[in-house]
């Protein structure tokens, strides 16, 4: 299957700072990328969908000014958690799909964010 690389795998940041998470498709062009948040022992919650070159579409209840998503190229999307607070601590996962991949998306390894 196609490879999606997410970085960093773990990050600890101080409250009030911003942190950026990268999601790269290594061997295909990702026309669409999805960002999820997962709380312990729960399912994946879709935060936003981003199409290359367009503004991200955020799910209801997700603050777009808090979680900035950029999908400037066909191989890279970034999620920036701005002015992070302890309640933003969570596991964040990206997935990517290409134009020709009309059946599945591929997942990154996830990022464990801890805000102290």
**Least distance (Å) between residue 103 CB and other proteins:** 6
Q: Residue 63 or residue 104: which is nearer to other proteins going by CB?
A: 104
Q: Can residue 91 be called a binding residue for other proteins (CB under 8 A)?
A: yes
Instruction: Please state, in angstroms and rounded to a whole number, the distance separating the CA atoms of residues 5 and 16.
Output: 27
**Using CA atoms in the order 26, 28, 29, 34, what is the torsion angle rounded to 10 degrees?**
-70
Binding mask 48-87 for other proteins (x = CB under 8 A): -x-x------------------------------------
Query: Residue 100: is it exposed, middle or buried by C-beta count within 10 angstroms (0-12/13-18/19+)?
Result: exposed
Q: Can residue 43 be called a binding residue for other proteins (CB under 8 A)?
A: yes
């Amino acid at each position: 299957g196609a490879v999606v690389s997410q970085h960093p795998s773990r990050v600890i940041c101080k409250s009030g700072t911003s942190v950026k998470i990268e999601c790269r498709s290594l061997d295909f062009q990702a026309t669409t990328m999805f960002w999820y948040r997962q709380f312990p022992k729960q399912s994946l919650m879709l935060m936003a969908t981003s199409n290359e070159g367009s503004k991200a579409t955020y799910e209801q209840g997700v603050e777009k000014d808090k979680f900035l998503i950029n999908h400037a190229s066909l191989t890279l999307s970034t999620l920036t958690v701005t002015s992070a607070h302890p309640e933003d601590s969570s596991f964040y996962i990206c997935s990517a799909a290409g134009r020709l991949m009309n059946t599945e998306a591929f997942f990154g390894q996830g990022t464990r964010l801890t805000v102290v």
